[in-house]
Copies of this chain bind each other. A is one copy, B any other.
Amino acid sequence: MAATPTHRVSSGERLNSADPTGHLQKTLRAKGIRLTRQRRVILEVMDNAEQHLDVDQILERAQKIDPAVHLVTVYRTIDLLKKEGLIDELDLLHLRGDRHYYETHGPRDHIHVACLRCGKVREFESRLYEQLKEQIARDFNMRVTVSRTEVGGICDACLASEKK
C-alpha cells in the first residue's frame, strides 16, 4: 500500500541518461561492491527521490525502469545501504502504520516534523541539533554515528481550521 502523500513526481523517472552514475552508484563502486542491473536501478531511484520512500514506493518506481526488480531485492539492497551508512531509516512516528521509510543520507542530519492531523511531513535543520549531538558525544564519551529525531504535532493550517 502506498503510504505517504505522493508528492508530485509524475509517472516515469525522467532520468536523463546523460547522468552517467549517481552518487550512490559511485560510492558503492568505490567500495568495490558489485553493481548488478537491479542494484543500479534501485540506487537510481534512491538518488532521484525528492523525499523519503517506503519499500513499496521504491519497488514501484524501480519497476517503471525495469519491471524485473523484485521486492526482496529492494529489501536486500536497502539492507546493504543501511549497513554502508548511505541511507537513513525513518518510521515517521508510525503515522501510517509500522512501515519504514528511507532516504539518502545527506551531508547534514535533519529532523522530520510531522503533522499528526494531516500527515504532512517537513524537514528541519538546526545548529542546535548539531550541538545536542555534540553534547551527547562529550557527556557519554562516545562516538555518535546515527541519529533520528521525529517530532509530531498539529501544524499551522490544521490549527487554523480547528479553531474556525
A147 at the interface (CB under 8 A from B): yes
Q: Could you say which interface size class chain A belongs to? A: 35 or more
Contact of A135 among B126, B135, B145, B148 (CB under 8 A): B126
Interface residues of A in 113-145 (CB under 8 A from B): 113, 115-116, 122, 124, 126, 128-129, 131-133, 135-137, 139-145
Q: For A144, what are the chain B residues with a Cβ–Cβ distance below 8 Å?
A: 151-153
Q: Are A113 and B128 in touch, CB under 8 angstroms?
A: no
A146 at the interface (CB under 8 A from B): yes
Expressed in whole angstroms, the Cα–Cα distance for A60 and B89 within the complex equals 30
Q: Are A149 and B152 in touch, CB under 8 angstroms?
A: no
Known: A132-B128, A132-B132, A140-B113. A150 touches B153 (CB 8 A): no
- Pick from A18-26, A63-71, A154-162 the stretch touching chain B: A154-162
A93 at the interface (CB under 8 A from B): yes
A94 at the interface (CB under 8 A from B): yes
Q: A143 to nearest B CB, angstroms?
A: 5
Chain A residues close to B by CB (< 8 Å): 89, 91, 93-94, 98, 111, 113, 115-116, 122, 124, 126, 128-129, 131-133, 135-137, 139-156, 159
Can you pick out 6 interface pairs between chain A and chain B where the beta carbons lie within 8 Å of each other? A111-B132, A113-B142, A124-B136, A124-B139, A129-B132, A142-B154
Nearest 7 A-B pairs (CB), nearest first?
A: A144-B153, A146-B152, A149-B149, A147-B151, A141-B156, A128-B132, A145-B153
